[in-house]
Amino acid sequence: METTILGGGCFWCTESVFRAVRGVQAVTSGYAGGARPNPTYEQICSGATGHAEVIAIDFDHAVISFERILDIFFATHDPTTLNRQGNDMGTQYRSVIFYLDDTQKQKALAKIEHLKTEGVKAVTEISPAPEFYPAETYHQDYYAKNPEQGYCSFMIPPKLSKLKQYFADDMI
């Protein structure tokens, strides 16, 4: 098993995507990258904590590689917008990879370089993994519990459809 921590905007969206990926054992929505210990959602939304909305992904690297996790990550958000994903604005929505070891760091940097060769000017932050704080219980598996929620029903089905098209072998 391997763990990675990724932020690509709203954690409701990224969590729902990675729950549908073969080899992913667990996905936990949370907060990382800021100075305030044990932040709340309301504090995160203020933008004053420095934390990003992130997900911690536990995956079986015998089933799916870290590189493939990164491929899916970059296919599901816009890494070229600083502190913004769609209508969500603020540092809490930044694109970020928090690496847990030097191998993850090198692979993340290589992915950014590869994106540059494809003309993608990613502003994704790549930093050592800080303390991870799980989000409140009501945020966990949010889309599955709230499929009628307007934002989720607008954002998530198109992302899952796109992923199933391009990453069919990796999707459950």
Positions marked catalytic? 10
Structure tokens at 48: 């004053």
Structure tokens at 16: 């729902």
Of the candidates 159, 144, 139, the residue with the CA atom closest to the CA atom of residue 42 = 139
Q: Write the single-letter amino acid at 62.
A: A
In whole angstroms, what is the distance from residue 136 CA to residue 53 CA?
12
Of the candidates 50, 45, 11, the residue with the CA atom closest to the CA atom of residue 28 = 11
Give the gyration radius of the chain's Cα atoms.
Answer: 15
